[in-house]
Copies of this chain bind each other. A is one copy, B any other.
Amino acid sequence: MKKNTQIVLASRPTAWVEESNFRLQVSDVPQPGANQVLVKNEWLSLDPYMRGRMSDAKSYAQPVAIGEVMVGGAAGEVVKSNHPKFAPGDKVVGAMGWQTWAVADGGALQKVDASTIPLSAYLGPVGMPGVTAWVGLLDICAPKAGETVVVTAASGAVGSVVGQLAKIHGARAVGIAGGADKCRYVVDELGFDACIDYKAGNLRGDLKAATPKGIDCVFENVGGEIFDTLLGRMNPFSRIALCGLISQYNSEPYPMKNIGAVLVNRIKMQGFIVSDDLSRWPPALKELAGHVAGGKIKYRETVAEGLAAAPAAFISLLKGGNFGKQLVKLG
């Protein structure tokens, strides 16, 4: 009989996440109840927000309980269905967690077409990270043609879409990424106008050179010293979509000194979580699917093999070890 492999939260991290914070367990494959669907997961998405769910600090979402399966988006195939909208063989995406099999309510799953777009892309540019990029860039920053957009973690699942969308909408796209390889990819393959390698040690000077007209929009995924430096280059009436602060998820917050720029330049800064307004997902996914199918939005994946590799891959993600979207390919 087939077994379900799961990764549960074993303990809460105090600073950096360690593999000992997770525990792998094996149980029977669950059976779907009324209106439920049994899914064999094929891809697990790893995302920075999961660090927050491991902590019991007050946040926008409930923490994962100790002993509970780690939360996460996954994509897979329906094996058994008690829901009229799903049949065996359908490809679906949903919050199915870090496990190889999942039972989910049919209403919580999204059926996807994996014939024109690969299934894994529904966890990346045509999924939560893509919608995050779309909402932050187009709803919050709303760049005009010719304006300069700067995005941090530019080669990542969200950042890579931000810059390509900015170009599609007529703006200048400048990325910030860690390392020359990532920067080359961002410019040469994704088509950004410029990319700054923050590890090269000349952030302020490189930023000035890459943003000769200042910055009109910051899409912030990282926080810390980089964010503080960006604030000093922003134009009057510029906007900040505050999406993530990965640099301080595992450490004390960086002391920001340039908040005065928000006043002097009348900057609008807006924190957002993509799940707050589900009405934005259909128009976002429609645009993103078109760009991905048409090759206008490219993406890259870092794939870990097998559920047991998920903890190490997640820890690597938090340290910037991934290159593009971090996925786990399941059994």
Instruction: Compute how far the CA of A253 lies from the CA of B255 in the bound complex, rounded to whole angstroms.
Output: 10
Chain B residue numbers with a CB within 8 Å of A227 are 259
A269 to B276, CA, bound (A): 18
| Contact count band on A | 20 to 34
Which has the most chain B C-beta neighbours within 10 Å: A244, A252, A269? A269
Find out whether the CB atom of B257 lies under 8 angstroms from the CB atom of A267: no
In the bound assembly, the distance between CA atoms of A271 and B276 in angstroms comes to 24
Give complex CA distance A265, B256 in Å: 18
Q: Is the CB of A265 within 8 A of B60?
A: yes
* CB-CB contacts below 8 Å: A119-154 with B: none
Q: Name A273's closest neighbour in chain B (CB-CB).
A: B266
A260 touches which of B243, B248, B265, B267 (Cβ 8 Å): B248
**A51 lies within 8 A of chain B by Cβ:** no
Interface readout for A234-269 with B: 1 if CB under 8 Å, 0 if not?
001000001111001000110111111011111111
Across the interface, which residues of B come within 8 angstroms of A245, CB to CB? 259-260, 263
Q: Contact between A269 and B260 (Cβ–Cβ < 8 Å)? A: no
Tell me, in angstroms, the Cα distance from A244 to B264 when the chains sit together. Answer: 9
A116: B residues at CB distance < 8 A:
none
Which residues from B are CB-within-8-Å of A198?
none
A270 touches B271 (CB 8 A): no
With contacts A60-B236, A236-B60 taken as known, whether A262 is within 8 angstroms of B253 at the C-beta atoms is: no
Q: Is A272 an interface residue (CB 8 A)?
A: yes
Enumerate A86-115 residues with CB–CB distance to B below 8 Å. none
Question: Which of B257, B258, B260, B269 is in CB contact (< 8 Å) with A262?
Answer: B269
User: Which residue in B60, B236, B253, B262 is a CB contact (below 8 Å) of A242?
Assistant: B262
One of B252, B256, B264 near A271 (C-beta < 8 A): B264
Complex Cα gap A322–B256 (Å)? 30
Contact A266 B256 (CB under 8 A): no
In the complex, whether A223 has a CB less than 8 A from a CB of chain B is yes
Q: Are A243 and B272 in contact (CB under 8 A)?
A: no
Known A-B contacts A60-B236, A236-B60; the reply to A259 vs B253 at CB < 8 A is yes
A256 and chain B: residue at smallest CB distance: B256
The answer, yes or no, to whether A279 is at the interface (CB within 8 Å) is: no
- Cβ of A52: which chain B residues have Cβ within 8 Å of it? 264
A59 interface hit (Cβ, 8 Å): yes
Q: Please measure, in the bound complex, the distance between the C-alpha atom of A88 and the C-alpha atom of B268, giving whole angstroms.
A: 45
Interface string of A200-244 (1 = CB under 8 A from B): 000000000000000000000001000100000000100000111
| Cβ-defined contact, B258 with A253, below 8 A | yes
Checking B59, B259, B268 against A264 with a beta-carbon cut-off of 8 angstroms, the contacting residue is B59
Provide a sorted-by-A list of 12 A–B residue pairs whose CB atoms are within 8 angstroms.
A58-B264, A60-B266, A244-B263, A245-B260, A248-B260, A253-B259, A255-B257, A256-B257, A259-B259, A265-B271, A266-B273, A269-B269
8 more CB-based (< 8 A) A-B contacts, given A59-B264, A267-B270: A58-B264, A245-B263, A252-B257, A253-B258, A256-B257, A262-B271, A266-B273, A266-B276
